[in-house]
Chains A and B, each alone.
Chain A
């Protein structure tokens, strides 16, 4: 069974602080995506990473893909209350059936 571990599951920090969310597996991903979801809404795709060592930036969000393509991280700089939400990583495993395997999610609360 191919598993995708996401941590932490819950994070509550003050506005202006930095944070990192991690997504790890023992298997190689062909690609990995990060989504953000607000209550009662569908997940919104933030970024897709494909190449080992890849770094992508989306304003204050920085996404990294591990060199071995087995892990990824999301770093938020100077978090804002508008960053509050559920962050989900989802990967396509190289030896899988091309379907997304989801992490458990990180519930992020940014307090003003």
Chain B
């Protein structure tokens, strides 16, 4: 299985809502990533987990809270988001971040709209 899955595909939420994005991979990868992507722009790194531990937080606001329950799952908990947080949220996985290749495999993304 060489697939990264993400749910939901689309999400619309109000600024007071709490929601979660989910990501799953079964490739045996031990590094997982959350990216945010605005239209016509490259992905922006948010968080990196390596061996289920948070290794990089790119100064992301606390209204985004990542969680890695096990080596196959990655969640992103959302609370009190702003309209400017509307974007495509991408999950990716790779072999652990120490390797120089860092070939990342992406899920299809969650299109988030904050009203």
Residues in A lying within 8 Å of B, measured CB to CB: 30-31, 33, 35, 40-45, 48, 50, 86, 88, 90, 92, 94, 97-100, 102-105, 107
User: A102 — which chain B residues lie within 8 A by C-beta?
Assistant: 42-43
Interface SS of B by simple majority: loop
Total residue contacts A-B, CB cutoff 8 A: 67
| Contacting pair A103 B42 (CB below 8 A) | yes
| Contacting pair B101 A41 (CB below 8 A) | no
User: A104 — which chain B residues lie within 8 A by C-beta?
Assistant: 41-42
Measured CB to CB, the nearest residue on chain B to A93 is B100
Contact A92:B88 (CB < 8 A) given known A42-B108, A44-B106, A102-B42: no
User: A48 — which chain B residues lie within 8 A by C-beta?
Assistant: 101, 103
Other contacts beyond A99-B48, A100-B102, A105-B41: 7, CB < 8 A: A41-B108, A42-B4, A42-B92, A45-B106, A97-B56, A100-B45, A107-B40
User: B107 — which chain A residues lie within 8 A by C-beta?
Assistant: 42
| Contacting pair A100 B104 (CB below 8 A) | yes
User: A42 — which chain B residues lie within 8 A by C-beta?
Assistant: 4, 6, 90, 92, 106-109
B76 CB to closest chain A CB (Å) equals: 15
**Does B64 lie at the interface of the complex (its beta carbon under 8 Å from any beta carbon of A)?**
no
User: A44 — which chain B residues lie within 8 A by C-beta?
Assistant: 106
| Contacting pair B106 A99 (CB below 8 A) | no
Measured CB to CB, the nearest residue on chain A to B104 is A100
Measured CB to CB, the nearest residue on chain A to B31 is A98
Contact A43:B43 (CB < 8 A) given known A99-B48, A99-B97: yes
| Contacting pair A105 B40 (CB below 8 A) | yes
| Contacting pair A41 B102 (CB below 8 A) | no
Which 3 pairs across A and B sit closest by C-beta, in order of nearness?
A: A42-B106, A102-B42, A30-B100
**Does B98 lie at the interface of the complex (its beta carbon under 8 Å from any beta carbon of A)?**
yes
User: A40 — which chain B residues lie within 8 A by C-beta?
Assistant: 88, 108-109, 111
Inter-chain CA distance A103–B40, complex, in Å, is 12
User: B98 — which chain A residues lie within 8 A by C-beta?
Assistant: 98
Q: Which of A35, A40, A98 has the most CB of B within 10 A?
A: A98
User: B109 — which chain A residues lie within 8 A by C-beta?
Assistant: 40-42
